[in-house]
């Protein structure tokens, strides 16, 4: 155990140990909802190195974990066999380079099957629904009650809370237009939708 701790706290593994601590803390915060795994930037750099297609945080976490393991295991196994002095210093620099190379190649392989499971883009936000039509799913919609189904451009569907400020007839199956989102109440303001008046409709206006 002492050899592992010494290696983890020594060069070059300490570099990856520090990064691994950051990664673990980040994912703990993500688990409790205090962080977002889409939050890191640098997507273009990871794409250029063949590690794109998944969130940057996932690629960075894999890279860090693999590099840490390779560096730690190599140091523990081979470092005692290398003489002290310049030879050991050169060996540890070589371990750093090998750990990064192996981690890069391994991460490239690991992200391939993950690209379909963890796409590098979050789903549509609620604000993306503003301006879309919806189908009312409750018997009525008023200032305090109502639900509707909305389908964004990606083909998915979502059931959202809707309210209206007037007394228009909005019942189950009718079509409405989501024209604003209320952050505090977490609902959309909806109005009856008339396709004949839609400026996007050919010949309208």
Q: 164: which 2 tokens?
A: 């209206």
The pLDDT tens digits for 170-182 are 999 999 999 999 9
Q: Are 51 and 117 in contact (CB under 8 A)?
A: no
Mean pLDDT, residues 100-108 taken together: 96
pLDDT of residue 201: 39
Q: Are strands 175-182 and 187-192 parallel, antiparallel or unpaired?
A: antiparallel
Q: Are 65 and 17 in contact (CB under 8 A)?
A: no
**Phi-psi label, residue 81: left if phi above 0, alpha if psi -120 to 50, beta otherwise:** alpha
Q: 129: which 2 tokens?
A: 């629904």
pLDDT of residue 204: 42
pLDDT of residue 29: 87
Mean pLDDT, residues 48-70 taken together: 89
Q: How confident is residue 96, by pLDDT bands cut at 50, 70 and 90?
A: very high
Partners of 135 in beta bridges: 149, 175
b (16+ CB within 10 A) / e for 172-197: eebebbbeebeeeeebbbbbebeeee
Specify burial of residue 153 (Cβ count, 10 A radius: 0-12, 13-18, 19+).
Answer: exposed
The answer to whether the pTM exceeds 0.85 is: no
Partners of 175 in beta bridges: 135
The pLDDT tens digits for 146-171 are 999 999 877 778 899 999 988 888 99
pLDDT of residue 137: 95
pLDDT at 31 over 50: yes
pLDDT of residue 192: 92
Q: Are 153 and 163 in contact (CB under 8 A)?
A: no
pLDDT of residue 157: 85
Mean pLDDT, residues 170-198 taken together: 87
Q: Are strands 158-163 and 187-192 parallel, antiparallel or unpaired?
A: parallel
pLDDT of residue 203: 40
The pLDDT tens digits for 58-68 are 899 999 999 99
pLDDT at 86 over 80: yes
């Amino acid at each position: 155990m002492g050899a592992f701790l010494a290696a983890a706290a020594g060069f070059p593994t300490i570099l990856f140990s520090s990064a691994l601590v950051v990664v673990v803390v980040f994912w703990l915060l993500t688990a409790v909802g205090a962080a977002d795994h889409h939050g890191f930037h640098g997507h273009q750099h990871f794409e250029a190195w063949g590690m794109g297609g998944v969130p940057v945080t996932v690629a960075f976490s894999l890279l860090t974990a693999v590099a840490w393991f390779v560096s730690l295991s190599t140091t523990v196994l081979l470092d005692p066999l290398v003489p002290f002095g310049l030879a050991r210093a050169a060996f540890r620099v070589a371990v750093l380079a090998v750990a990064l190379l192996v981690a890069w190649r391994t991460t490239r392989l690991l992200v391939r099957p993950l690209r379909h499971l963890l796409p590098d883009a979050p789903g549509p936000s609620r604000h993306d629904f503003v301006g879309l039509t919806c189908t009312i799913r409750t018997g009525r919609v008023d200032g305090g009650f109502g639900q509707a189904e909305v389908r964004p451009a990606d083909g998915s569907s979502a059931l959202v809370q809707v309210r209206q400020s007037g007394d228009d007839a909005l019942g189950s199956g009718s079509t409405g237009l989501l024209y604003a989102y209320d952050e505090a109440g977490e609902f959309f303001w909806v109005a009856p939708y008339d396709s004949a008046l839609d400026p996007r409709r050919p010949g309208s206006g």
